[in-house]
Amino acid sequence: MSELVAVTIDDRPVEVPKGTGLVEAAQAAGVEIPVFCYEPRLGPPVGACRMCLIEIEGMPKLQAGCTLTATDGMVIHTAATSAKAAEGQEATLEFILVNHPLDCPVCDKGGECPLQDLAFRYGPGNTRMTLPKLTVDKPIPVSPLIALDRERCILCYRCTRFSEDVAEDGQLIARNRGARTEIATFEDEAYRSPFSGNVIELCPVGALTSTLYRFAARPWDIQNVPTICTACPVGCNVSATIREGKVKRILSRNHPEIDRGWLCDKGRFSYPHLRAEDRITTPLRRGKKGLEEITWDDALDSAEEMLRNAGGAIVTALSGSETTEIAYALGRLLRGGHGAHSAVMPEATSTALEAFHLPLSAIGDAEIIVVVGDDPVVERAPIVDLWIKEARRHGAEIVVCSPAGDLATEPGGAAARCQELATPRDALGKKLRAAERAVLIWSGPGGGGGARLAELAHELGLEEKAGSGAFHLPATANALGAAAAWAASADADEANPEPIELLIVSGDEAAADPSVRALAEEAKRVIVLTMFHELAAGWADLILPSTAALERDGTTMNLEGRVQRLRRAVPPPCPDELAWIAKLAARFDVELASEAPGVFEELAGHLFRDLALDDLGLHAPLPARQTYETPAPSSSLPAASPAASLETEDGALRLQRFRALFSGPAVERVAQLDFQRPDAEVELATAEAERRGITSGDAVFVRSNGTSVELRARVNRKLIEGVARIADEHASDLHAVVEVVKA
């Protein structure tokens, strides 16, 4: 317990810990100190807007309350008890409104605008500004996602501070000075950052607005539904703004341990995929004339027939985007009803990391963070990247062991790196052992779903240290929950049917997966559950429309191992999966609840130690750490991992693919997100580029076995030699070994 100091605010005495900011101290006393620029998540206060002017006894001038901390005996007067403070606050508001356009009736922010609220409470009732206001062109597209109205801007610098000090992209800047100061991007380029949308929520006025939400609703005709983002395994807490049964925007719903109120643009802006042109809402069956729309009754009849004919020779491909309940219901139907135990999982998962649970926020407090794995953290779990940046700002040592990291590591070399770190004489390993707050992160494929990392964490003794822990960043939102639910749905070993009579593809990620497509070639019949026509039209015998996460009730388990509640924000345009799975299951005498709470209740007994859905609340708790159990040994030893063992010919490079954050079926269906998708480029080490006479920006051909792709070269001086790095969506059919030549 830190030392308490006694302060008096508007005649109310209150005790707060020493160092508490006056805004918070006032809150503790039940008093408001109004603010615009003050936002503790953005770092130290700047005292720019002067909204928080207060009178402090013993100080002749008004003070910016947000910049000061409580000291013992301080006597503070806000506008409520000081005419001087009231005059100061009214002055600030008058100045702010001098050039403000007062176009509230057509402003998106109107009705949920701090400037409106504070002008009402503290502002002058009339205007004394009779001279021409400062006017500028508007709105300015800061990017395809964000529109900037510089007349509304009150220059609180929240957005530029976010860009500079939180996202650390340094793209939003203030330029010019005085009354002509304006927010801009360098050279007026589009603000391209995975986190750009946060500035819209930070903006205390209607200066930064979402191009997707502009003029779409008024605050009094919307509802906000609390749910969970499923764009990645972080599971940020969000609110979906609903108007007339449609999702109009996504807002953050600050879970201090997970997201601190930040969202990435994929989570914030990909919701229009719910109304994509090729969204399927009616079942489709392949007939003589190709795919034909059929009724749900027919669809269930067909599914039943296919299941009966398959005789158990069924393989199920899961996406990792199912709710835990859907994965469980599918398991009960297929495994319980048909003995169809064979499944293709999106990725390996492991429970070994449960011994090293930590809230994500603990990353921000770490002394040392070691990241292993081929993929940049931001591409897999963007919010984790923000926590790492925060740790660095606090002075933490960050070591990234990857092909383009601080400690150059071969592609696929993460497991070997972990073994090195575990040896007693490894210098970095020693630091990890010595630290009180050490965090390990696996960001990339392989590693047994965290099992290899857990072995390292155990070797380093991290389970004994409360501030230390380890995270595996899965590729999909609910890989952990789906795998656990599938496993819990029956008690039998997997068998590999040969031939495959029926392949069931659950979800868009599985439908888009080339290895699943390959299985479909083998299978006699294929049922695909998908949202989009394009993903399954060419190869499915029966297509059942899927719902989107925003249309689902249920739970997911994020990368921390936290179970969180999805709430249905909008009704789906087709029956919910759980409803028809229950119907279908009944035909095979499998009894299943048709709604998420019922399924969860059954599941909780198996999986969640009888956790109740209500326990999850709006901000779900993190389960306690489990005792460490040695995971199953690695099936592929690191030395023999495929990428590392590839023999490359002279001049050939190993292709390192990565799945970009802005990729996948949802992102591809939102035109405004196109500019965020990865550039068509290949990254090369400086030496590799020089050897080929290539410089950044050159057009190059990347070739392998008859496939050739033209891309732009980018020299990445941190990248190791022998590697060509390309985003999945631009690597098309390239093989594992490629050559790169100047076009």
Partner 1 sequence: MPERPQIVFAGTNGGALTQFEDYAAVGGFAPLRKARSMAPDDVIAELESSGLRGRGGAFFPTGRKWAFVPKPDQLAKPHYLVVNADESEPGTFKDREIMLRVPFRFLEGCLIAAHAISSQHVFVYIRGEYEQEFEVLRESLEAMRKADLLGGVTVVIHRGAGAYICGEETALLESLEGKRGQPRTKPPFPAIAGLYAAPTAVNNVESITTVTSVLELGATEYAKLGVENSTGTRVFSLSGDVVNPGNYELPHGITLRELIYDVGGGVPGGRELKAIIPGGSSTSILTGADIDTPLDFTSLVQAGSSIGSAGVIVIDERCCMVQLGIRVSQFYEHESCGKCTPCRVGTRWLTQILQKIEGGRASQPDLDLLLSVCDRIMGKCLCPLGDSDAIAVLSYVDRFRDEYQAHIDLGRCPFDGESSLEGILAPSAMHESPAHGIARV
Site string for partner 1, 53-92 (x = CB under 8 A): x-------xx-x--x-------------------xx--xx
CA-based nearest residue to 453, from 431, 473, 425, 478? 473
Cβ nearer to partner 1, comparing 67 with 224: 67
DSSP class of residue 69?
Answer: B
* Shortest separation between residue 295's beta carbon and partner 1, angstroms: 45
* Shortest separation between residue 157's beta carbon and partner 1, angstroms: 8
- Choose the stretch contacting partner 1; rule: CB under 8 A; options: 177-185, 328-336, 503-511, 631-639: 177-185
Q: Interface with partner 1 includes 316 (CB under 8 A)?
A: no
Cβ nearer to partner 1, comparing 94 with 426: 94
Of 28, 75, 104, 140, the one binding partner 1 by CB under 8 A: 140
Q: Give the span between the Cα atoms of 179 and 172, in whole angstroms.
A: 18
Q: Interface with partner 1 includes 400 (CB under 8 A)?
A: no
Q: Give the span between the Cα atoms of 414 and 656, in whole angstroms.
A: 14
Q: Interface with partner 1 includes 104 (CB under 8 A)?
A: no
Cβ nearer to partner 1, comparing 54 with 482: 54
Cβ nearer to partner 1, comparing 177 with 289: 177
Burial code (b: 16+ CB inside 10 Å, e: under 16) for 381-395 equals bbbbbbbbbbbeeee
Of 18, 180, 275, 717, the one binding partner 1 by CB under 8 A: 180
Q: Interface with partner 1 includes 23 (CB under 8 A)?
A: no
Q: Interface with partner 1 includes 616 (CB under 8 A)?
A: no
* Shortest separation between residue 19's beta carbon and partner 1, angstroms: 13
* Shortest separation between residue 193's beta carbon and partner 1, angstroms: 14
Q: Interface with partner 1 includes 176 (CB under 8 A)?
A: yes
Of 82, 99, 171, 209, the one binding partner 1 by CB under 8 A: 99
Please, is 123 exposed, middle or buried when counting C-beta atoms within 10 Å of its C-beta (0-12, 13-18, 19+)?
A: buried
Give the tokens for residue 27. 């809150």
CA 354 from chain centre, in angstroms, equals: 21
Hey, how many other C-beta atoms are within 10 angstroms of the C-beta on 496?
9
Of 20, 163, 185, 198, the one binding partner 1 by CB under 8 A: 185
Cβ nearer to partner 1, comparing 88 with 507: 88
Cβ nearer to partner 1, comparing 138 with 533: 138
The alpha-carbon radius of gyration of the chain (Å, integer) is 28
Q: Interface with partner 1 includes 96 (CB under 8 A)?
A: yes
Q: Interface with partner 1 includes 155 (CB under 8 A)?
A: yes
Of 117, 165, 182, 397, the one binding partner 1 by CB under 8 A: 182
Of 48, 421, 457, 570, the one binding partner 1 by CB under 8 A: 48
Check if the beta carbon of residue 34 is closer than 8 Å to that of residue 2: no
Q: Interface with partner 1 includes 609 (CB under 8 A)?
A: no
* CB within 8 Å of 526: residues ≥ 6 apart: 502, 503, 504, 505, 520, 539, 540, 541, 542
Q: Interface with partner 1 includes 188 (CB under 8 A)?
A: yes
Cβ nearer to partner 1, comparing 38 with 471: 38
Phi–psi pair at 481, nearest 5 degrees: -65, -45
CA-based nearest residue to 600, from 328, 395, 222, 214? 328
Give the tokens for residue 218. 């008024």
Check if the beta carbon of residue 400 is closer than 8 Å to that of residue 622: no
* Shortest separation between residue 176's beta carbon and partner 1, angstroms: 5
Q: Give the span between the Cα atoms of 331 and 396, in whole angstroms.
A: 44
Please, is 8 exposed, middle or buried when counting C-beta atoms within 10 Å of its C-beta (0-12, 13-18, 19+)?
A: middle
Q: Give the span between the Cα atoms of 150 and 140, in whole angstroms.
A: 8
Task: Give whole-number Cα distances, 369 to 366, 391, 428, 458, 474, in Å.
Answer: 7, 8, 10, 16, 18
Torsion sign over Cα 362, 368, 369, 370: negative
Task: Give whole-number Cα distances, 585 to 155, 237, 333, in Å.
Answer: 59, 33, 5
CA-based nearest residue to 723, from 708, 707, 738? 738
Beta strands in 491-598 (DSSP E): 502-506, 525-530, 542-545, 554-557, 563-566
Q: Interface with partner 1 includes 47 (CB under 8 A)?
A: yes
Q: Give the span between the Cα atoms of 79 and 88, in whole angstroms.
A: 8
Check if the beta carbon of residue 372 is closer than 8 Å to that of residue 689: no
Q: Interface with partner 1 includes 289 (CB under 8 A)?
A: no
Q: Give the span between the Cα atoms of 183 and 149, in whole angstroms.
A: 10
Phi–psi pair at 270, nearest 5 degrees: -90, 0
Q: How many residues bind partner 1 (CB under 8 A)?
A: 54
* Shortest separation between residue 34's beta carbon and partner 1, angstroms: 13
Strand partners, 69: 21
Q: Interface with partner 1 includes 382 (CB under 8 A)?
A: no
CA-based nearest residue to 696, from 709, 681, 707? 681
Of 15, 24, 32, 94, the one binding partner 1 by CB under 8 A: 94
Sheet holding 75-77, edge to edge: 12-17, 4-9, 75-77, 53-56, 63-64
Site string for partner 1, 672-711 (x = CB under 8 A): ---x------------------------------------
Q: Interface with partner 1 includes 395 (CB under 8 A)?
A: no
Cβ nearer to partner 1, comparing 50 with 389: 50
- Choose the stretch contacting partner 1; rule: CB under 8 A; options: 10-18, 139-147, 226-234, 619-627: 139-147
Q: Interface with partner 1 includes 8 (CB under 8 A)?
A: no
* Shortest separation between residue 277's beta carbon and partner 1, angstroms: 23
Please, is 595 exposed, middle or buried when counting C-beta atoms within 10 Å of its C-beta (0-12, 13-18, 19+)?
A: middle
Q: Interface with partner 1 includes 671 (CB under 8 A)?
A: no
Phi–psi pair at 542, nearest 5 degrees: -140, 125
Cβ nearer to partner 1, comparing 75 with 190: 190
Q: Interface with partner 1 includes 102 (CB under 8 A)?
A: no
Q: Interface with partner 1 includes 49 (CB under 8 A)?
A: yes
- Choose the stretch contacting partner 1; rule: CB under 8 A; options: 42-50, 307-315, 535-543, 726-734: 42-50
Check if the beta carbon of residue 682 is closer than 8 Å to that of residue 658: no
Q: Interface with partner 1 includes 168 (CB under 8 A)?
A: no
Site residues (CB under 8 A) for partner 1, limited to 248-267: none
- Choose the stretch contacting partner 1; rule: CB under 8 A; options: 96-104, 461-469, 470-478, 661-669: 96-104
Q: Interface with partner 1 includes 612 (CB under 8 A)?
A: no
Q: Interface with partner 1 includes 733 (CB under 8 A)?
A: no
- The contact set with partner 1 (CB under 8 A) reads 45-51, 53, 61-62, 64, 67, 87-88, 91-92, 94-96, 98-99, 128-129, 131-132, 134, 136-137, 140-144, 148, 154-155, 157, 173-182, 184-185, 187-190, 675
